[in-house]
Structure 1
Amino acid sequence: ARQQVNERLTPISASLPEGAEPVMGPISTGLGEVLMYTIEYEYPDGKEAPRGGAVGWQSDGSFVTERGDRLDSDVAKAAYLRTIQDWVVAPLMRSVDGVAGVDSIGGFEKQYLVQPDPARLTGYGLSFDEVIDALEAANLAEGANFVERAGEALLARVDARLGSVEDIEQAVVSTREGVPIRVGDIATVSIGGDLRTGAASLNGDEAVVGTVLMRAGENSRTVSAQAAERLEEVRSSLPKGIVAEIVYNRSSLVDATIATVEKNLVEGALLVIAILFLLLGNIRAAIIAALVIPFSMLMASIGMNRLGVSGNLMSLGALDFGLIVDGAVIIVEN
């Protein structure tokens, strides 16, 4: 079915507007959300945070990243969290066996905003198109062939991609009498974000929420436990001042459900024996009715093992021994 959908998407892509590209979602179901975690600042909004270091919160309320970028707006700070999720955490979480994909909610997709000053443009005799062309020309990565030495070929390339606000400000738009006119001379450059399509918060503070999606047919308890272990490993590679916390783990919920089913089965069997003995006055009839519970559970477990049905919330919830006991009581009464 996915192959057929992919074949239909190929011709459709040619008729869509420039930059629009349809993609299929992960091979998951509506019950595939097995792990949710948050990416946030260790000290949200800089409250009680140590200040003045080379990296982290500064005395003016801004946050300096390990690359040296100064985040002085709420949008830039939220975009930094989303960047870490999309480029550091999510790729590592996708490599877990049984994971179909990772969804991201909150923050902003990082963008560099160049806002030209019309008055300065007019003064230099420049247009918006010239600024756009200059930015495109300054953001290149080209291969420069190779150099042979001692029987080895050494690849050479020129990487002139823009990677910071300072790089963009230094891009040359034009020259006047041999003096270069740079982007920083005619425009304001800052870190911004794309149009927001969702938001997330943790205890009232801006955060990014990542959701691990399980591949259809996998064991949710196993996948969520492995994903939680991987997140523990990922924490060591997070930039300074950023933390990741698990807020929902399906394996914990399944373990709690198994414990509840176990407890209810034992207590239910004892109650059935006691009540039927009091009402019927016959211990043999009470035991016969009570034995339906473990035998039904045993048969269901055998069938689940043979058919490969995992012990998840849906399958465990279907084993409602109350319905089983109703049938047993009717049998005993007859």
Structure 2
Amino acid sequence: MVEKLISLSLRNRVLVLLLAAGLFGWGVYALRRNPIDAIPDLSENQVIVFTEWSGRSPQVLEDQVTYPLVSNLQGIPKVRNIRGTSMFGMSFVYLIFEDEVDLYWARSRVLERLNYAQRLLPQGVTPTLGPDGTGVGHVLWYTLKAKGMDLGEQRALQDWYVKFALQTVPGVSEVASFGGFQKQCQITLDPTKLNYYRIPLPDVLRAVKSNNDDVGGRKFEMSDMGYIVRGLGYIENIQDVENMPVGTYQSTPIRIKDVATVQMGGDLRLGIFDVNGEGEAVGGIVVMRYGENADNVIQAVKAKMQEVEKGLPPGVKFEIAYDRSTLIERAIASVRGTLVEEMVTVSLIVLLFLFHARSALIILIQVPLSIAIAFILLEAFGVSSNIMSLTGIALAIGVIVDDGIVVVENAYRHLSEAQQAEEATSS
């Protein structure tokens, strides 16, 4: 079989060269399409259902949220396992699907079942799906360098400007904010005053909600012109909150400031984000979408950052805290350098021992062609170019070179012996 294949190749050299050129071109195309990342994605094919119910204990969340969700999410096709966990104020349900299941098909099936399970949860509790990323999707961390700006202002800038701009980049699943203070208007009630004025707590909550809303009216015409009537009721400052009426006492209106203290503050924090021991900072984590090219996503995010930076306040700039593209580019450069070094070394060895340029050319063609075929297979089986796969290719280059030297040297010896025998016969 091998002899027939060799003889067929020798009789059709042009066809073999065209086939090799076609495979090399296909390999280059597969290399450009193959997702490039530094870390191999070994995470499970999962969909996360997240539910928040502030102020509730883990046991309450387990009984009223996690258990109903886990019970009703069972039976979804191609689900391998369902895991649920409850903590203070939050519930997580992890649905592990079979490896061959498409992630977005799985997410749509979970959404269909959540529409039914929603009626079993407490009023006001709405489960949501986690981002369509994986455990290794954190490809870029950045912080805001803003000297003299309050941490609350930095967090507001991150949440309401930077985050929304970066989420428009193709391939980005989510931009998670961290650090700083999330501004909020805090009302500290005095229970003694509430009891004195005989104002229950639900009335205060109802008053705050109802007094922070715009209302719509109808249109009326006057002097051949139409006017739209609407009521402006959104809170603009602390004084608007302090002057909200919550009830009456002996025909005297009671306002918020009569029974509480109002101030601007930050949400409760469970930790801080410190950069190199230099103090607190505000920033974000860019989460890559499932199956995307990490290097392309990072470069697109950096380009978007340059655009966003033009709209930031004076003195505010981005600082990269973690950039996976550096590791990716170094891994690619390592493979490229290994390939060039081994091709040069092999050529010198073949020329030194055989003094035959065509033999060296055969090996020089064999090495890049073999690597191109490897990327064709990576693309076909859905394996990304990461440290593990690129290291395997780098190690395999040595095997390819060794085999090439042995085969070429053996072929050269047989041809030389045949030529010597032919010359001896002719003489």
Matched residue, 2:200: 127
Matched residue, 2:296: 222
Higher Cα radius of gyration: 2
SS of corresponding position for 1:206: coil
Q: Is the 8 A contact 1:200 1:209 kept in 2?
A: no
Tell me the distance in 2 between the aligned counterparts of 1:152 and 1:225: 54
Matched residue, 2:254: 181
**Are 1:165 and 2:230 counterparts?**
no
Shift, 1:5, TM fit: 0.7
**Are 1:238 and 2:306 counterparts?**
no
**Are 1:256 and 2:330 counterparts?**
yes
Tell me the distance in 1 between the aligned counterparts of 2:248 and 2:316: 43
Deviations 1:300-330 (A, max 9, x none): 45667x8697985358625523223224425
**Are 1:35 and 2:109 counterparts?**
no
Pairing of 1:182-221 with structure 2 (within 5 A):
182-196=255-269, 199-204=272-277, 205-221=279-295
Tell me the distance in 1 between the aligned counterparts of 2:173 and 2:305: 16
Tell me the amino acid that sits aligned with residue 29 of structure 1: T
Q: Is the 8 A contact 2:247 2:255 kept in 1?
A: yes
Q: Is the 8 A contact 2:367 2:397 kept in 1?
A: yes
Q: Structure 2 residue aligned with 1:117, among 162, 187, 190? A: 190
Q: Is the 8 A contact 2:144 2:283 kept in 1?
A: yes
Shift, 1:153, TM fit: 5.8
Tell me the distance in 2 between the aligned counterparts of 1:151 and 1:249: 62
1:210 and 1:283, CA in 2 relative to 1: closer, same or farther beyond 3 A?
A: farther
TM-score (norm 1): 0.73
1:17 and 1:314, CA in 2 relative to 1: closer, same or farther beyond 3 A?
A: farther
1:277 and 1:244, CA in 2 relative to 1: closer, same or farther beyond 3 A?
A: same
Tell me the distance in 2 between the aligned counterparts of 1:236 and 1:179: 53
Shift, 1:191, TM fit: 2.9
206-215 vs 176-185, greater mean Cα deviation: 176-185
Deviations 1:77-116 (A, max 9, x none): 4x54333322211111111222222222334443322111
Q: Is the 8 A contact 1:33 1:212 kept in 2?
A: yes
SS of corresponding position for 2:125: coil
Q: Structure 2 residue aligned with 1:4, among 97, 109, 117? A: 109
Tell me the distance in 2 between the aligned counterparts of 1:332 and 1:98: 44
SS of corresponding position for 2:120: coil
SS of corresponding position for 1:207: coil
Q: Is the 8 A contact 2:331 2:387 kept in 1?
A: no
Stretches of structure 2 lacking an aligned partner (at least 5 in a row): 1-105, 408-427
1:301 and 1:233, CA in 2 relative to 1: closer, same or farther beyond 3 A?
A: same
Tell me the amino acid that sits aligned with residue 109 of structure 2: Q
Tell me the distance in 2 between the aligned counterparts of 1:147 and 1:250: 60
Matched residue, 1:296: 370
Q: Is the 8 A contact 2:131 2:173 kept in 1?
A: yes
TM-score (norm 2): 0.59
1:120 and 1:296, CA in 2 relative to 1: closer, same or farther beyond 3 A?
A: same
1:316 and 1:237, CA in 2 relative to 1: closer, same or farther beyond 3 A?
A: farther
Q: Is the 8 A contact 1:170 1:184 kept in 2?
A: yes
Q: Root-mean-square deviation (CA), in Å?
A: 3.5
Q: Is the 8 A contact 1:289 1:325 kept in 2?
A: no
Deviations 1:3-34 (A, max 9, x none): 10101111222222344321112222334333
Shift, 1:238, TM fit: 3.1
Tell me the distance in 1 between the aligned counterparts of 2:384 and 2:222: 61
SS of corresponding position for 1:320: helix
Identity %: 34
Structure (1 or 2) with the greater helix fraction: 2
**Are 1:13 and 2:118 counterparts?**
yes
Shift, 1:263, TM fit: 2.0
Shift, 1:202, TM fit: 1.9
Matched residue, 1:88: 161
1:330 and 1:139, CA in 2 relative to 1: closer, same or farther beyond 3 A?
A: same
SS of corresponding position for 2:128: coil
Matched residue, 1:74: none
Shift, 1:136, TM fit: 1.9
Number of residue pairs matched by the alignment: 299
SS of corresponding position for 2:312: coil
Stretches of structure 1 lacking an aligned partner (at least 5 in a row): 44-48, 50-55, 57-62, 64-76
Tell me the distance in 1 between the aligned counterparts of 2:180 and 2:326: 28
Matched residue, 1:99: 172
Q: Is the 8 A contact 1:82 1:107 kept in 2?
A: yes
Pairing of 1:264-303 with structure 2 (within 5 A):
264-273=338-347, 281-282=353-354, 292-300=366-374
Tell me the amino acid that sits aligned with residue 133 of structure 1: R
Q: Is the 8 A contact 1:102 1:213 kept in 2?
A: yes
Tell me the amino acid that sits aligned with residue 218 of structure 2: N
Q: Is the 8 A contact 2:350 2:405 kept in 1?
A: no
